[in-house]
Structure 1
Amino acid sequence: MMVALTYCSAIFILLFAFASASPTAIETHPRLFNKIYAFGDSFTDTGNTRSASGPAGFGHVSDPPYGSTFFHHPTNRYSDGRLVIDFVAQSLSLPLLPPYKYLKGNDSFHGVNFAVAGSTAINHEFYVRNNLSIDNTPQSIQTQLLWFNKFLETQGCRGEETKAQCKAAFDDALFWVGEIGVNDYAYSFGSPISADTIRKLAVASVTGVLQSLLKKGAKYMVVQGLPPSGCLALSMSLASVDDRDDIGCVRSLNNQTYVHSMALQASLQSLRRQFPEAVIIYADYWNAYRTVIKNPSKYGFRERFKACCGVGEPYNFELFTVCGMSSVSSCKTPSEYINWDGVHLTEAMYKVVHDMLIEGGFTHPPFSYLLDMKRHKG
């Protein structure tokens, strides 16, 4: 940490870095894909971190009440239940994705989840060089690409001489790149590094990884933008009450993630021109989330900003007393809350976001276009 950062600021960085729909029926599609490969941060991580290795400030993900809604026990997901990627798998008639770091036997037959909580878009070495390193979360999206390459080797895909094995690994595969980049802004909070610099480096890094996947053989890809991070309980509790936008969230942070997502969309358009045979879908997390915040009752939510699991007023969130600690309890009806622990979302909200992305028109082109292309191309 830079000397100029106060202890409280450091804690803010640590906590902020780690960015359901009760179990209702899920609309399913015929199995057009045999496997999913997922990437991202804690919003997509299905178990690559545990309490011992999870992000500082949220090192209790292996403890109740995490996982209480659907699984009825902690699964190292940063929620009370399933995440967007879980609902995606179920809607495509596939099993839930196993985390890469804890694969067992034939777990990977229907795909692998490489997302890991605390991940950055920019390589960790950038933060080391700028004295912003948080050593317990050194993974970036480049790390996940390395993991994916190692996984390919286990499938017999090692280059030109193993084309058949590589084709098998990529055939009928959906690549789902969950949101990643919020942690980069959090790491650089309070430092001389500008948000513009972070955005340019982060988008370039993600674009490079996507380009590598497409060159390797990815044909069907969904890339999520960033959510409006200014609507999280953590952000609301720390920002000035004067820093609010039209929906009551933190204006400065929401503007930051909006500009980031616009830059990402421009980059995806460039990739579409470079890889015309691939189907690249942008998932508009920002507008989907905002739509819910504007009219929460329409989606079954009573609480827009309060965390379900936490302590403290007015947002049921405190920096030093977080969900999973023995002294912290959760609300009785998580499905009425958008926010789970102050930084991550409830299963109910992840389910709503999934529905908006897959069925509700918040992807560009529509997700149905991707499905139609898969049907036609086989």
Structure 2
Amino acid sequence: MDTPTPLFSLLCFFLFSLFLGEEQHVVEGSRVWTFGFRPNMLFVFGDSYADTGNNRKALASSWKLPYGITFPGKPAGRFSDGRVLTDFIAGYLGIKTPVPYRYRKELGGRLKYGLNFAYGGTGVFDTPAPEPNMTTQIDFLQQLLNDSVYSKRALKTSVALVSLAGNDYSNYIATNGSTAGFPAFIGRVVNQLKVNLKRIHNLGVRKIAASALQPLGCLPQSTAQFSFEQCNESENALVGLHNQLLAQAVNDLNKETNSSSFFVLDMYNAFWNVFNQKQAHQVSPTFVNPFEPCCVGVSAAFSCGSVDENGVKQYTLCSNPKSKFFWDTVHPTEQGWRAVYSTPALQSSLKQFW
């Protein structure tokens, strides 16, 4: 047998090194997986920050123009001009965005990627939204297990995103809840969320990410009173209490289960990373006035997507959604979500999925 030439030996060494590298790292979209646990399914619970089309078309603004004009080009049930948090996290995990629960029968072939049970307007408790709260959303997954659509064994390779963006608190304020009673109510919300997280884990889901509250005082619905130039710091102080209690709840759950199954997505600092953490009234280096929405009703009586009895638009729309962080008075644009996803705060949080 001929002696291998130096070039041939070098080529063999290169291919062997490449093979070893592929064993240790798998490139999935924008993400490199280290050798070990790799999620195959994503289950989503929560509200409009994560909903990709569960709300009924007759009731939700997310099914009206101009929602969805960036992606997929028409209204599709997302509360944005395009993609939302769920889409970016699915991309990070290297799997397709799980289909909404309402389409589970029509799109049965996609169930292998998980399911999205989130409904816009909902919370851990009942809200004015005529849609299932988080407890009922978890009931849906329980029923699918009972019906053998999924098995506990299959769920061992799944992860969950649990979004809580503040609907419980909006409802508390709307129903004349007292300011003095707010801290106690926050405790009730987080305690119920803790029950929900543990239940999802008991169903067999391997890793569970619970979103911290974003700075509610910086949403356009709050900054409007300041001409979209500064946040409501009183609201953000209450957000701080919620996030503190949530961090403690997650820590307790990991101790109870002797695991690292539960973790928090740092939405609060992710939003502030985008706002640049400078004085709240200053313009972001990425977005034109980050607190001012792209789509807004022509008056307090109307909202984005509203039309009158003749079909005349009762909202105004910015010329370029990519220049705005917020789409409407509550929800980010697709570009806003992309910026949040790309922040050090969220990227650091996402690493806990493995």
Q: Secondary structure of 2:328's match?
A: coil
Matches for 1:155-304 after TM superposition, within 5 Å: 155-156=148-149, 165-168=151-154, 170-180=155-165, 182-189=166-173, 191-193=176-178, 194-237=181-224, 239=225, 241=226, 248-293=230-275, 294=277, 300-304=286-290
Deviations 1:336-357 (A, max 9, x none): 111101111101111111222x
Q: For the residues of structure 2 that align with 1:339 and 1:298, how far apart are their CA atoms?
A: 12
2:123, 2:168 within 8 Å by CA — same for their partners in 1? Answer: yes
Q: Residue 301 of structure 2 is aligned with which of 316, 320, 326? A: 320
> When the two structures are aligned, how many residues end up with a matched partner?
309
Deviation at 1:197, TM superposition (A): 2.6
Contact 2:134 2:196 in 1 (8 A): yes
Aligned counterpart, 1:65 = 66
The answer as to 2:300 corresponding to 1:307 is no
Q: Are positions 1:37 and 2:38 aligned together?
A: no
C-alpha separation in 2, matches of 1:197 and 1:139: 24
SS of 1:42 mapped into structure 2? coil
Q: Secondary structure at the match of 2:31?
A: coil
Whole-Å separation in 2 of the counterparts to 1:251 and 1:304: 16
Alpha-carbon distance in 2 for matches of 1:185, 1:191: 11
- Residues 1:106 and 1:287: Cα distance change in structure 2 (over 3 Å): same
Q: What is the DSSP-based 3-state SS (H/G/I as helix, E as strand, rest coil) of the residue aligned with 2:209?
A: strand
Q: Name which one, 1 or 2, has greater alpha-carbon Rg.
A: 2
Q: Deviations over 1:244-303 (max 9, x none)?
A: 9xx820112111112111111110000010112343221111111122223687662112
Gaps of 5+ in 1: 1-25, 55-59, 125-132, 158-164, 313-317, 372-378
Question: Which region of structure 1 is more displaced relative to structure 2, 185-194 or 212-221?
Answer: 185-194
- Taking structure 2 as the reference length, what is the TM-score of the superposition? 0.80
Find 2:353's aligned residue among 370, 373, 377.
Answer: 370
TM-score by length of 1: 0.75
1:190-213 superposed Cα distances (whole Å, 9 cap, x missing partner): 524521232111101110011112
- 2: CA distance between counterparts of 1:197 and 1:141? 20
AA aligned to 2:294 is: C
SS in 2 for 1:351: helix
Taking a change above 3 Å as real, the CA distance of residues 138 and 34 of structure 1, as seen in their structure-2 partners, is: closer
Please tell me the residue identity of whatever aligns with 1:150: Q
Partner of 2:118: 115
Aligned counterpart, 2:10: none
Counterpart in the other structure of 1:19 = none
Aligned residue type for 1:185 = Y
Q: How far does residue 72 in structure 1 lie from its aligned partner after superposition?
A: 0.7
Q: What is the identity percentage for the equivalent residue pairs of Structure 1 and Structure 2?
A: 25
Q: Distance in 2 between matches of 1:101 and 1:167?
A: 24
Amino acid at match of 1:112: L
Instruction: Tell me how far 1:369 sits from its aligned partner.
Output: 4.2
Q: What do you get for the CA RMSD once the two structures are aligned?
A: 2.5
Show the counterpart of 2:322: 335
SS at match of 1:61: helix
Q: Which residue of 1 aligns with 2:91?
A: 90
Residue ranges of structure 2 left out of the alignment (5+ in a row): 1-28, 308-312
Letter in 2 for 1:49: N
